[in-house]
């Protein structure tokens, strides 16, 4: 069974590079929370500073990715503190 085709809300095609940017409709954003609070996830090599720390995504437009990450983190840290939160509304903020 194939995935349902996403609804394209806006599209822009660069006429020089032929790259397309599409804004797709989404039901929500799913975020992984730790003990019911948002968090950042950083990975790095403990032996060297190269190539430096990498900050990983913890919010997704697909619920499956969020559930997979929560399960992986619960398994790694041997806990049940990571959960998935469905975000559908919130406060709009402007950069200062």
Does position 79 have pLDDT exceeding 90, yes or no?
Answer: yes
Global confidence as pTM: 0.85
* DSSP β-bridge partners for residue 32: 84
Q: Which residue has tokens 């990571």? A: 82
- Give the three-state DSSP class for 64: helix
| pLDDT category of residue 2 using cuts at 50, 70 and 90 | confident
Does position 90 have pLDDT exceeding 90, yes or no?
Answer: yes
Does position 66 have pLDDT exceeding 90, yes or no?
Answer: yes
The number of beta carbons lying within 10 Å of the beta carbon of residue 30 is: 22
- Give the three-state DSSP class for 13: strand
| pLDDT category of residue 3 using cuts at 50, 70 and 90 | confident
Q: Phi first, then psi: give them for residue 73, nearest 5 degrees.
A: -70, -40
> Helix, strand, coil proportions of the chain in percent (round to 5)?
15, 35, 50
């Amino acid at each position: 069974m194939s995935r349902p085709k996403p609804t394209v809300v806006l599209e822009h095609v660069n006429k020089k590079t032929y790259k397309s940017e599409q804004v797709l409709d989404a039901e929500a954003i799913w975020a992984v929370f730790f003990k019911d609070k948002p968090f950042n996830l950083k990975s790095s090599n403990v032996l060297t500073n190269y190539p430096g720390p990498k900050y990983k995504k913890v919010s997704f437009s697909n619920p499956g990715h969020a559930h997979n990450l929560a399960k992986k983190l619960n398994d790694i840290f041997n806990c049940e503190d990571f959960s998935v939160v469905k975000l559908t509304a919130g406060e709009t903020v402007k950069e200062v």
